[in-house]
Structure 1
Amino acid sequence: MSAVFAQSENPQSGIEVTAHIPGQDAVLTPAALELLASLHRLVEPQRQARLAARKQRQAFFDGGGLPDFREDTRGIREGDWKVAPLPAALLDRRVEITGPVDAKMVINALNSGAKVFMADFEDSTSPTWANLIDGQQSLIGAVAGTLQFTAPVSATGAPGKQYALKPFEEQAVLIVRPRGWHLDEKHLLIDGTPIAGGLFDLALFAFHNAKALAAKDRGPYFYLPKLQSMEEAALWETALSHIEATLGLPQGQMKVTVLIETLPAAFEMHEILHALRSRIVGLNCGRWDYIFSYIKTFRRHRDKVLPERGQLTMTQPFLKAYSELLIQTCHQRGAHAMGGMAAQIPISGDEAANEQAMARVRADKLREVSAGHDGTWVAHPALIPVARALFDQYMPAANQHALLREDVTATREDLTRPSLGTITGAGFEGSVEVCVRYLAAWLDGNGCVPIHWLMEDAATAEISRTQLWQWLHSDNLHLADGTLIDFALLERALLNLPGRLGDTRAIPGGGRIPQAIALLDKLSHDDELAEFLTLPAYEYLD
């Protein structure tokens, strides 16, 4: 929208809100906007410096360099220190469910029986202005205990189902994930510059809910995504300390878990824990983003091309090394080592296929708990009892911090060695389909999309998108049947996709399929790999 709505009490304060929907004034109060402005002015110069450092680091990788453990931080890695004691509400996190921040999802997730619900403003939320404001309103209602939702009237005229929260004592612990450092929020300008999307998400939630949650001994708690270095973690520490001081909270009141979902961050896990040691409670194996980051980091390395996504399980050596190093690091420092996401959803109407899918989930969760993880993620409520049964059986205590995994040795070679496998025609076409269908839904305002009985979000779509780019820009790469991977192969897949999809009216964002095809075609042909799919796609929102 072109109109500018200045909502600060002081018209000279440099705060501009460039969009307006009903109800947003209750979220973007003058005091909330002043907090956001002060945060932006404190953090933005260093945020831009860190984003520039990412580009410099990537240029080193593009030139043939490899990530490694830092010599200048050896003292941190070899030092004898631990993170601050964990709060009681987060001692047992054996099963966590994640999802977007709409009211129905928030209610169902908090009522799900999981130990934790991660309310996600990042990979599973398309950041339309309406989604962001509605999400903040939903979480304000959830913390207050007043959130309700009524489904639309059915096609037969029957009243819509009503949803309400269970008593507070029966709810999952709420953790909020803001957007990463790389994303702007273009609808809020401070001194003419967009605020960081992550600051917008986190600070607004804290402003409205921190004191109420602190009074209940529930935080507030956050997941911090897509960090690449200890300096980026330290920047979050600066922001969180400033929010606490502004809101009158004790320093360290706001606790965080960091997702290790970039390859560079895997070499700085001790350092990231140390930078946030007064408030961090754990690290998480963000496996899908981690695979995406591996591809992106080594996009110019012909010897590190990965096979198709379906073959990239956590038993692959480079992924196994990463997850076990994370467990060892966290338990040495007194922090949780959280496992990764099971993206499967129940397969209705096919009992045999559903049992095969659940068997894969059970095998994955058994691997995690046996390795020493302190908890795991699921994308669908039906998977909660599946995961919980295994963690209950093999982890009778609240966590496994005593399992130090001193047997683990993960070298640079272990963490960067590519996995063996193939690229099939079905795998190539599947990557095209996932990209197009997810992009179409995201452009239509839906950031969490079931495709072929997997819950796809931005992270899984990014794997498909970056693999397509790397395969197409690698010389003389072939499918398993000998077919050359070239742009003619991509064009055939894109041309054939609408016919394969059939009637798109039942597909989320079906009306955006042509736009999504055009965007994927452009991104795949570009000489430079776009850092994130959501950056060019964001220009199409609102």
Structure 2
Amino acid sequence: MATRAWPEGVELRGGDVGDAQRVLTADALAFVATLAREFEGERQALLQQRRARQAAIAAGWRPTSPSPDDPARRDDWRVAPPPADLRDRRVEITGPTDRKMIINALNSGARVFMADFEDANAPTWANMVQGQANLYDAVRRTIRYVAPDGREYRLGETTAVLTVRPRGWHLDEPHVRVDGRPVAGALFDFGLFAFHNAAVLLERGSGPYFYLPKLEGRLEARLWDRVFAFSEQALGLPRGSIRCTVLIEHVLAAFEMEAILYELRERVTGLNLGRWDYIFSFIKTFRHRADLVLPDRRLMTVPATPFLRAASRRLVRACHRRGAHAIGGMSAYIPRRDDPEANERALEQVRADKQWEAAEGYDGAWVAHPGLVPVVQDVFDRALGGPHQLAVVSADEPSDEEMVAIPTGPVTESGVRTNVRLQTLLHRAHLLARLRSRRATAPAGFFSKAITSHDNHAL
């Protein structure tokens, strides 16, 4: 790749992997560079605001909702109506951007597929580049995969609606530099996908749809809106054709859910509550607060966790009040064939969780495996009796005090040991993902020694 001519000021530090040559074209990289030059300063300012806000919280400041006279609190606005193919979101499936996963997810029977460049993806250079190539082929319906056993995978006649989750504002793409600085992972992921696919999607009757992760407030949503508007003009797209759903994964964002909808009102179609990331954000944000220490994790279910229940109620109310879909949490269970009884017990837990969400007012929910699609679809079909329940608007808005109310319960030695074991497993998985791309050049025994060393460090 070093021998190719790149746009002025653009430097690529990744290898010539996969389908890089047809994805990392000069024009596509020039568009990414334009986004970086236009918005990097604002991104850095917002990241500095995150740090300042965290320091204020450590000093005793508590987040509050926007004041009653804030424009976002007025009754005279609603978000733009959803495009036709996003009016029914009863089941959404998520997964990384490898070829087989994309085909299976699009063929799963789910209403929407979120192709994930973020949490479900190890951000190696090969994964990020090949993932873009895979989506390029999926948009054009030419994607195919041949397994080692000879089985061939292709798209069916009817597929889920494609959405794409780029990385959050806090992450860089270290393999691409613009004017000497790493480009934002968010702008790299969004920019490449929009440049190659936005016009094609619109021609096919859909559109460039995105899931926005890890926002911490309305100003970060406003930046995304500016990126979208700029990109529509630069790429010759109709105004408002780029649409998005926002993940509420951070406790500070939850205080500004209506304001986030307001900032993106021409383009946003819904909010999604990411439960486990949300709990983590609560722990991280209030880590200096002795009065907000959480009990053992086994007690942290939605009904038993006041702050999570409050965020859930506030999300559904904000969405339906403003005409946006409320999307529920992830069912991450992987169906088992070896133990039918255990499998059915787990599926009953999934059903109960989704029945609770439907009763709370959600319009759909996430699954991580195609085997869960019919289970969750059946729950929402029975509960909703239609494509959504946007007309159901609760009069109950949880207070700011409820948004930080913690569950009662003990902190035990057993609970702490469970946390350590789980954290070690997560560190191990992260290390494996980072080392996998180096397997070809690693010396004998390198992986086992590295993992043992990493486990000892984590413990």
TM range (shorter): over 0.9
Aligned ranges for residues 407-486 of structure 1 at < 5 Å?
408-445=396-433
Name 1:480's counterpart in structure 2.
Answer: none
Provide the residue aligned with 1:260 in structure 2: 248
Q: Does structure 1 residue 143 correspond to structure 2 residue 139?
A: yes
Q: How many residues align?
A: 446
Residue aligning to 1:132: 128
**1:216 has 2:204 as partner:** yes
Give the distance between the partners of 2:22 and 2:88, measured in 1 at CA: 35
Whole-Å Cα distance in 2 between the matches of residues 517 and 86 of structure 1?
A: 47
Match of 1:90 in 2: 86
Rounded Cα–Cα distance in structure 2 between residues aligned with 1:257 and 1:134: 24
1:180 positional shift = 0.2
Contact 1:120 1:178 (C-alpha < 8 Å) held by counterparts:
yes
Residue correspondence of structure 1 range 146-225 to structure 2 within 5 A: 146-152=142-148, 159-167=149-157, 170-225=158-213
Distance in 2 between residues matched to 1:198 and 1:129, nearest whole Å:
14
- What is the TM-score with the length of structure 1 in the denominator? 0.79
| Contact 1:94/1:374 (<8 A) preserved | yes
Q: Report deviation, 1:513.
A: 2.7
Percent of aligned pairs sharing the same letter: 48
Deviations 1:417-442 (A, max 9, x none): 11123344443333333322233233
The one of 268, 286, 304 equivalent to 1:298 is: 286
Instruction: Supply the distance in 2 between the matched residues of 1:233 and 1:309 (Cα, whole angstroms).
Output: 31
Secondary structure, counterpart of 1:25 in structure 2 = helix
The counterpart of 1:353, out of the listed 322, 342, 348, is 342
Q: Which amino acid aligns with 2:56?
A: F
- Partner of residue 458 from structure 2, selected from 513, 516, 520: 520
The CA deviation at 1:348 is 4.2
Q: Secondary structure at the match of 2:401?
A: helix
Secondary structure of 1:125's counterpart equals: coil
Q: Name stretches of at least 5 consecutive residues in structure 2 with no aligned partner.
A: 436-446
The normalised TM-score by structure 2 is: 0.93
CA distance in structure 1 between the partners assigned to 2:434 and 2:104 by the alignment: 18
Contact 1:436 1:513 in 2 (8 A): no
Secondary structure of 1:257's aligned partner: strand
Give the superposed CA RMSD.
Answer: 1.9
Q: Report the counterpart of residue 27 of structure 2 in structure 1.
A: 31
Counterpart of 1:382 in structure 2 is 371
Are 1:78 and 2:67 an aligned pair? no
Q: Secondary structure at the match of 2:433?
A: coil
Indicate the residue corresponding to 2:42 in structure 1. 46
Tell me the alpha carbon deviations over residues 238-282 of structure 1, each in whole angstroms, 9 at most, x when there is no partner: 111121111110111110000111111111111111111111101
The AA in structure 2 aligned to 1:5 is A
Return 277-286 or 19-28, whichever deviates more: 19-28
8 Å Cα contact 1:131-1:445 kept in structure 2 = no
2:387 to 382, 392, 398: 398
**Aligned AA for 2:215?**
L
- Residue identity in the other structure for 2:14: A
CA deviation after TM superposition for structure 1 residue 203, in Å? 1.0
Q: Which residue of 2 aligns with 1:454?
A: none
- The Cα of 1:107 is off from its aligned counterpart by 0.7
Residue equivalent to 2:2: 5
Counterpart residue type for residue 514 of structure 1: T
Judged with a 3 Å threshold, the aligned counterparts in structure 2 of structure 1 residues 396 and 53 are, in CA distance, closer, same or farther, namely: same
User: Match of 2:211, SS?
Assistant: strand
- Aligned-partner residue type, residue 15 of structure 2: H
Aligned pair in 2 of structure 1 residues 374, 41: CA closer, same or farther (>3 Å)? same
**Aligned CA distance change for structure 1 residues 28 and 402 (closer, same or farther; 3 Å):** same
Alignment partners' CA distance in 1, 2:71 and 2:9? 43
Contact 2:124–2:434 (8 Å) recurs in 1? no
Contact between 2:317 and 2:397, CA under 8 Å: does it hold in 1?
Answer: no
Matches of 1:361 and 1:423, distance apart in 2: 27
Structure 1: state its 5+ residue gaps. 153-158, 448-508, 522-542
CA apart distance, 1:511: 6.9
CA distance in 2, matches of 1:57, 1:86: 34
User: SS at 1:339's partner residue?
Assistant: strand
Give the superposition deviation at 1:151: 1.9
Letter of the 2:329 partner, please give it: G
Residues 73 and 123 (structure 1), Cα distance of their counterparts in 2 relative to 1, 3 Å cut:
farther
